[in-house]
Amino acid sequence: MSILEEIKKRKTFAIISHPDAGKTTLTEKLLLFVDAIQMAGAVKSSKIKKATVSDFMEIERQRGISVTSAVMSFEYAGMKINLLDTPGHKDFAEDTYRTLTAVDSVILVVDSVKGVEEQTEKLMNVCRMRSTPVMIFVNKLDREGRNPIELLDELENKLDIKAAPMSWPISRGSSFKGVYHLYKKNLNIFRPHGKADGEETIRVNDLFSAVIDEYTGPELAARLREDVALVEGVYEPFNMDLYLSGKQAPVFFGSALNNFGVKELLETFVELARGPGPMEADTRMVNPEENTFSGFVFKIHANIDPNHRDRIAFLRICSGKFERNKFYYHVRLDTEVRFSNPASFLGQKKDVIDEAYPGDVIGLYDRDKFKIGDTLTEGEKLMFKGIPKFSPEIFKELVHTSLKAKQLEKGIRQLTEEGVAQLFIMKHGNKKVVGTVGQLQFDVILYRLKNEYGAECRFEPMYAKKACWFTSDDKKQMEEFQKYKADSIGYDSADNPVFFAGSQWDLDYYIKTYPNIKFYFTSEFKAG
């Protein structure tokens, strides 16, 4: 089979949401429908102890949240699907942002009770930056939620995207009867049992069919017809070009916990979602149908299997064909590497593969050779763009509390290379400073250092509110600033200088005082 034929079979997407909107539950129900798993875990239920497939870290199982992106590959309807489940918690947003660089489309989950929340808006902004196509699943229709018309208006206003309803709910909460599928012209009857057969699909000729009255009752049927007439009169019909350009979002209603509306979402996604497309590199655009292989690392995870202490680099294939045991060019290290056990994943389960194609996400066993953003090619010197590190918001000094210095050094280096946090070395005093975007990341680091590396430490607050990279062509001014602010300057993993400011006022002052020094808030300043 040719590369072009393989590309046509691939769909690579992420599921994103605000915490507790039902993202991980939806992920599991999608896997249930494609027979990738036999039983779904209940994330919130204390009666069901089985953890969700995508949440494999012990701390995730304990807290009932996702703190790292999981990769799942499976086949459905003749297609190869690569699904990336992302952290919902805002403290781990940077991991989600990087994951979004590796996908071609997105399913956004919105809680019908709470509507559009802060993290939802931030995630949508990242999708808009890359013009990523988005489908929206309005979840929890079995609860007493918001008016669907109000929700559609809020989606359009807060997310700055045109909404195209593909289905419409028949009431909600305790009187929820199901949805009318506007796109497929059928009626889905709600069966609130939480089983795989949680809905019944009934084909109807038109919206005024007596079958609808029979199953919903005359009053709800009349309201449904009024709502559909209003929706079709106010909202633009689905437009494939607008969807693929990220300007219009198909909207589905359902209940992931009860398996309702999940199958329709999956079927429509497979039919409409964009396949692998061009990726921007520092020297040119890379097209997926090119014969030569290329790909980039967007995620690294140590100790996925605690029994083997393995370190996995997740690689998105951008062009050509990847082959097991073939040598590839590691651009940053300027060396050749090969992989004898590349793997595809379904949560913790992994299978060795012999080949992979554009759109695929594979795991490469790594012996400290990879960093996030690294590129592999067949010899061409290029680096894929759009995978920056962001300026952290919370800074703490790492302090040893045990004699296991080597384990601690290895652990903090590997964990920060995963992108869960950033490590800076303050040469003035030889301090190690860890920067994150949220407090929860420090809790995760402490937990993993103790349980995965046998090393303990503590974090002490550091007086810093802002951090930014800086460069200058003015050598004299650069040396003067670095000497004057030596106790406020650290160095990142690439040995780039970073200035820690005590306040926004401090930062503004030094920006004015040293006009020939440029300050940056992402690590992509070199590309600019």
Tens digit of each residue's pLDDT (9 = 90 or more) over 81-116 = 999 877 655 555 667 777 888 999 999 999 999 999
**C-alpha span between 91 and 87 (Å, rounded):** 9
Which range has the top average pLDDT, 271-280, 386-395, 406-415?
271-280
* pLDDT, mean over the chain: 85
Report yes or no: 166 and 238 within 8 Å, Cβ to Cβ: yes
8 A C-beta contact, residue 428 and residue 462:
no
Residues 6 or more apart in contact with residue 301 via CB below 8 angstroms = 68, 311, 312, 314, 418
Rounded distance between C-alpha atoms, residue 446 and residue 392, angstroms? 18
Q: For the chain, how far is it from start to end, CA to CA, in angstroms?
A: 40
DSSP strand pairing (79-85 vs 10-17) = parallel
Task: Look at residue 50 in the predicted model and tell me its pLDDT.
Answer: 42
Cα 72 from Cα 66, distance rounded (Å): 14
CATH no. of 394-526: 3.30.70.3280
Q: Is the pLDDT of residue 485 over 90?
A: yes
Cite the residue boundaries of each domain of the chain with CATH code 3.30.70.3280. Answer: 394-526
Half-sphere exposure of residue 487: CA atoms within 13 angstroms, side-chain side: 3
Which segment of 34-38, 55-59, 151-155, 479-483 scores lowest on mean pLDDT? Answer: 55-59
Confidence band, pLDDT 50/70/90 cuts, at residue 309 = low
CA distance 509 to 254: 52
Q: Measured between alpha carbons, how far is 183 from 261 in angstroms, rounded to an integer?
A: 13
CB 257 within 8 A of CB 142: yes
pLDDT tens digits, 110-150: 999 999 998 888 888 888 888 999 999 999 999 998 999 99
Instruction: Return the exposure string of 403-439: e unless at least 16 CB atoms fall within 10 Å of the residue's CB, then b.
Output: ebeebbebbbebbbbbbbbbbbebeeeebbbbbbbbe
CB 85, CB 52: distance < 8 Å: no
pLDDT > 90? residue 510: yes
DSSP state of 83: E
* pLDDT score recorded for residue 387: 67
d(CA 505, CA 338): 50
E strand residue ranges, 199-321 = 199-203, 248-253, 279-280, 285-286, 294-302, 311-319
**pLDDT tens-digit readout, 42-82:** 333 333 334 454 444 554 555 444 444 478 888 898 999 99
pLDDT of residue 525: 60
CATH 3.40.50.300 residue ranges of the chain are 3-272, 279-377
CA–CA separation, 272 and 241 (whole Å): 11
- Helices and strands in the chain: count of H runs, count of E runs: 14, 31
Topology of domain 3-272 in CATH is Rossmann fold (3.40.50)
Residue 32 neighbours by CB under 8 Å, 6+ apart: 38, 39, 40, 196, 259
Phi, psi dihedral angles at 244 (to 5 degrees): -65, -25
Query: Does residue 213 contact residue 224 with C-beta atoms inside 8 Å?
Result: no
Query: pLDDT tens for residues 318-362?
Result: 999 999 999 999 999 999 999 999 998 775 567 899 999 999 999
Q: Which two tokens stand for residue 452?
A: 């995965």
Confidence tier at 521 by pLDDT (50, 70, 90): confident
Is the pLDDT score of 429 beyond 60? yes
Query: Which of 254-258, 261-265, 279-283, 521-525 comes out lowest in average pLDDT?
Result: 521-525
- pLDDT-derived band at 371 (thresholds 50, 70, 90) equals confident
The bridge status of strand 285-286 relative to strand 167-170 is unpaired
Assign 268 a pLDDT band (cuts: 50, 70, 90): very high
- Distance from C-alpha of 521 to C-alpha of 153, rounded to nearest angstrom: 34
Reply yes or no on whether the pLDDT at 161 is more than 90. Answer: yes
Give me the residue label for tokens 């680096």: 383
Percent of the chain with pLDDT over 90: 49
What integer pLDDT is reported at residue 199 of this predicted model?
66
pLDDT at 293: 98
Tokens 């102890």 belong to 49
- Which amino acid belongs to residue 147? N
Q: Which two tokens stand for residue 150?
A: 């109000």
Mean pLDDT of 427-454: 85
CATH number assigned to the domain covering 279-377 = 3.40.50.300
Which has the closest alpha carbon to 464: 496, 502, 434, 415?
502
pLDDT of residue 48: 32
pLDDT in tens, 219-245: 999 999 999 999 989 999 999 999 999
